[in-house]
Amino acid sequence: MLYQGRWVADWQPVQAKDAKGGFVRQVSSFRNWVTPDGAPGPTGIGGFPAEAGRYHLHVALICPWASRTLIGRTLKGLEDAVSVSVVEPELTAKGWRFPKGRDPVTGATYLHEIYTAADPVFTGRATVPVLYDKQTGTIVSNESADILRMLNSGFGTLASGADLYPEDLRPEIDALNDRIYPRLNNGVYRAGFATTQVAYEEAFGEVFAQLDELETRLSDGRRFLFGGRLTEADIRLFVTLIRFDVAYHGLFKCNLRRIADYPALQGYMIRVLDLPGVRGTVSIDHVKRGYYSIKALNPTGIVPKGPALDWLRDA
Give 23's pLDDT tier (boundaries 50, 70, 90). low
Question: Once rounded to an integer, what is the mean pLDDT over residues 9-38?
Answer: 74
Active site residue 254: no
Where, residue-wise, is CATH 1.20.1050.10 in the chain? 167-282
Q: Is the pLDDT of residue 225 over 80?
A: yes
Distance between alpha carbon 82 and the CA centroid of its chain, in Å? 17
d(CA 88, CA 86): 7
57-97 confidence digits (pLDDT tens): 999 999 999 999 999 999 999 999 999 999 999 989 899 99
Q: Is the pTM of this model over 0.85?
A: yes
Topology (CATH level 3) of domain 2-158: Glutaredoxin (3.40.30)
pLDDT score recorded for residue 21: 66
Q: Is the pLDDT of residue 25 over 60?
A: no
Round the average pLDDT of the chain to a whole number and report it: 94
Collapse the DSSP code of 83 into the 3-class scheme (helix H, G, I; strand E, B; otherwise coil) and give the result. Answer: strand
Where, residue-wise, is CATH 3.40.30.10 in the chain? 2-158
Active site residue 63: yes
Residue 100's contacts (CB-CB under 8 Å, 6 or more residues apart) are: none
Q: Which helix (H) or strand (E) holds 216?
A: helix 197-218
- Is there a binding annotation on residue 96? yes
Topology (CATH level 3) of domain 167-282: Glutathione S-transferase Yfyf (Class Pi); Chain A, domain 2 (1.20.1050)
Question: Once rounded to an integer, what is the mean pLDDT over residues 190-204?
Answer: 97
Question: Once rounded to an integer, what is the mean pLDDT over residues 170-198?
Answer: 98
- Is there a binding annotation on residue 108? no
Among residues 55, 132, 189, 291, the one annotated as catalytic is 189
d(CA 281, CA 243): 13
- Is there a binding annotation on residue 106? no
Among residues 55, 63, 200, 291, the one annotated as catalytic is 63
- Is there a binding annotation on residue 296? no
Residue 66's contacts (CB-CB under 8 Å, 6 or more residues apart) are: 57, 59, 60, 128, 129, 144
